[in-house]
């Protein structure tokens, strides 16, 4: 997981910075923050622990906000292709902010909350760390009649893994039956917690918003549970890659649209037909005729790792795509990658080559995810 080049003197810190240091984390700059990339046991151990038990991640660098006012869903649908009018109270949806060409400005999570006492619609929004200032400015400028409250005094933790529910249910018993992509407010000994059953690992789990001044106590309480270990950005990246999940600025950006990125599932039939979002004409064209390229998985042969930027070529040497994310998959004990390939070469099983350090490494196209997801669907 690459960091950035921000000077250490200018790095922001999360509410858990002291805890990371107490736990022996190796800290790196990431999205303008001083963040833990790994702890003493190392990335592979952290990754496998999350797949088998429960991992605790600090994701407080991400942006959180409330958006409220009349017809919030209608306003948001003018900025993205997600179906927000049909979103039920207490449910969360993944979508993408789009530009006029239908390219992705950022991806984000949106939750419809209970209406305010005056009847205004009320949404909770979580955006990526590196893009939060841009995203919130875009929303505020495009929807000036709505009230955007950025939650700078709240941290965000992610508890992920097959035993995450067992752990959190000891503190918050009703969370055990929350379905995937649902949200609840809990009044707890650690203050008001906003809990969403979601995450970025492909495992069952939760993202928990907690007030900054209660975050360390809450994190330490979770870490006292025998199933839980602290997990850094390194394992967060390898886990999401195995799950075939996009990282903004790498697998999706201002040059990609949701259709070629394999995110068509995030656009409902109503929105595909009606349009009314930025770049609708371009996206509707790709829905009808197919995109020129597709995000696919790659299984390189041998042990060489195809990193971001590695060129993908056909058997006859024609350049047909590029790797956007690549690394070693601890769950599979082999290298994996994903990237964009021309649609004529995107069929599962197609043999291609990846250029790694001037060498052609044989690889095959595969479907995503690499590791099956284990989200808890539950009952509505």
- Of 186, 176, 177, 180, which is closest to residue 218 (Cα–Cα)? 186
Where does a domain end: 223, 242, 261? 242
Residues 28, 157 within the same domain? yes
Nearest to residue 2, comparing CAs of 135, 130, 132, 155? 130
d(CA 90, CA 180): 11
pLDDT in tens, 198-228: 999 999 999 999 999 999 999 999 999 999 9
Q: Is residue 339 part of a domain?
A: yes
* DSSP for residue 319: E
pLDDT band at 5 (very low <50, low <70, confident <90, very high): very low
Percent of the chain with pLDDT strictly greater than 70: 97
The sign of the dihedral angle between the CA atoms of 27, 31, 238, 198 is positive
Q: Which residues lie closer than 8 Å to 348 by C-beta, 6 or more apart?
A: 296, 365, 366, 367
Domain boundary among 242, 258, 278: 242
Q: What pLDDT, on a 0 to 100 scale, did the predictor assign at position 378?
A: 72
**Neighbour tally for 335: CB within 10 Å:** 23
Number of domain units in the chain: 2
Name the residue range of residue 318's domain.
292-366
Is 308 within the bounds of a domain? yes
Two tokens, residue 112 = 């419809």
Q: Do 238 and 161 share a structural domain?
A: yes
According to DSSP, residue 3 is labeled: -
Domain of 309: which CATH number? 2.40.30.110
d(C-alpha 361, C-alpha 305), whole Å: 9
With a cut of 50, say whether residue 337 has pLDDT above it. Answer: yes
pLDDT at 173 over 80: yes
Decide if 229 contacts 46 (C-beta within 8 A). yes
Percent of the chain with pLDDT over 90: 96
pTM: 0.95
Instruction: Please answer whether residues 176 and 218 qualify as being in contact, where contact means their C-beta atoms are separated by less than 8 angstroms.
Output: no
pLDDT of 380 over the 80 cut: no
Is the residue at 160 inside a domain? Answer: yes
Residue-level pLDDT at 1: 35
Cβ atoms 61, 12 nearer than 8 A: yes
Q: How far apart are CA 243 and CA 247, in angstroms?
A: 11
Residues 322 and 216 occupy one common structural domain:
no
- The verdict on residue 118 lying in a domain is no
Nearest of 175, 202, 207 to residue 378 by alpha carbon? 175
Give 9's pLDDT tier (boundaries 50, 70, 90).
low
Q: What is the pLDDT confidence band of residue 377, given thresholds at 50, 70 and 90?
A: confident
Residue 127 within a domain = no
Cβ contacts of residue 143 below 8 Å, gap of 6+? 67, 69, 72, 75, 76, 78, 79
Rounded CA gap, 194 and 180, in Å?
15
Average pLDDT over residues 341-356: 98
What does pLDDT average to over the chain? 96
Please state whether the peptide bond connecting residue 28 to the residue before it is cis, i.e. omega within 30 degrees of 0. Answer: no
* Residue 375, Cβ density class (10 Å: 0-12 exposed, 13-18 middle, ≥19 buried): middle
Residues 332 and 339: their CA atoms lie apart, in Å, by: 19
Looking at residues 345-352, what average pLDDT do you find? Answer: 98
- Residue 169 sits in the same domain as residue 40: yes
Question: In the predicted model, what is the mean pLDDT of residues 75-100?
Answer: 98
Please report, for the domain that includes residue 236, its CATH number.
3.30.1360.120
- Which has the closest alpha carbon to 57: 189, 237, 324? 237
Domain boundary among 201, 225, 242: 242
The DSSP element (H or E) to which 160 belongs, if any, is strand 154-160
Question: Is residue 158 domain-shared with residue 48, that is, in the same domain?
Answer: yes
Domain assignment present for 197: yes
Asked if 300 and 335 count as a contact pair (C-beta separation under 8 A), the reply is yes
Pull the structure tokens for residue 152. Answer: 């700078």
Burial class (CB in 10 A: 0-12, 13-18, 19+), 122: middle
Where does the pLDDT of residue 8 fall: very low under 50, low under 70, confident under 90, or very high at 90 and above? low
Please check the confidence at residue 29 and state whether its pLDDT lies above 60: yes
The two structure tokens encoding residue 350:
């197609």
- The 10s digit of each residue's pLDDT in 271-316 is 999 999 999 999 999 999 999 999 999 999 999 999 999 999 999 9
37 shares a domain with 186: yes
d(C-alpha 200, C-alpha 207), whole Å: 9
Residues 43 and 185 both lie in one domain: yes
For residues 211 and 324, state if they share a domain.
no
Phi-psi region of 111 (alpha: psi -120 to 50; beta: other; left: phi over 0): beta
| Residue 78, both tokens | 């003018």
Has residue 233 got a pLDDT over 80? yes
Question: Which tokens hold the place of 49?
Answer: 């622990």
């Amino acid at each position: 997981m690459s960091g950035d080049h921000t000077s250490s003197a200018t790095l922001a810190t999360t509410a858990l910075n002291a805890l990371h240091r107490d736990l022996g984390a190796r800290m790196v700059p990431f999205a303008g923050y001083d963040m833990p990339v790994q702890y003493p046991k190392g990335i592979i151990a952290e990754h496998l622990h999350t797949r088998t038990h429960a991992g605790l991640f600090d994701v407080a660098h991400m942006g959180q906000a409330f958006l409220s006012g009349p017809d919030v869903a209608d306003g948001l649908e003018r900025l993205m292709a997600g179906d927000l009018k049909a979103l039920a109270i207490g449910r969360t949806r993944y979508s993408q902010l789009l530009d006029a060409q239908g390219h992705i400005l950022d991806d984000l999570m949106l939750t419809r909350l209970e209406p305010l006492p005056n009847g205004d619609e009320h949404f909770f929004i979580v955006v990526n760390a590196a893009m939060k200032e841009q995203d919130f400015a875009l929303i505020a400028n495009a929807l000036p009649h709505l009230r955007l409250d950025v939650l700078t005094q709240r941290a965000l933790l992610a508890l992920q893994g097959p035993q995450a529910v067992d752990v959190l249910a000891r503190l918050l018993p009703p969370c055990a039956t929350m379905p995937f992509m649902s949200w609840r407010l809990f009044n707890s000994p650690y203050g008001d917690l906003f809990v969403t059953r979601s995450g970025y690992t492909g495992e069952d789990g939760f993202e928990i918003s907690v007030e900054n001044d209660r975050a360390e106590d809450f994190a330490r309480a979770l870490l006292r549970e025998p199933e839980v270990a602290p997990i850094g950005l390194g394992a967060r990246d390898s886990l999401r890659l195995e799950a075939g999940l996009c990282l903004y600025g790498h697998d999706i950006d201002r040059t990609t649209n949701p259709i070629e990125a394999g995110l068509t599932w995030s656009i409902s039939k109503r929105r595909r037909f009606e349009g009314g979002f930025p770049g609708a004409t371009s996206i509707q064209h790709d829905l009808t005729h197919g995109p020129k390229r597709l995000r696919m998985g790659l299984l390189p042969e041998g042990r060489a790792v195809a990193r971001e930027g590695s060129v993908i070529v056909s058997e006859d040497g024609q350049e047909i795509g590029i790797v956007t994310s690549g690394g070693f998959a601890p769950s599979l004990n082999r290298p994996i990658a994903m990237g964009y390939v021309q649609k004529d070469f995107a069929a599962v099983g197609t043999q291609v080559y990846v250029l790694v350090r001037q060498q052609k490494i044989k690889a095959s196209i595969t479907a995503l995810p690499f590791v099956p997801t284990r989200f808890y669907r539950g009952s509505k």
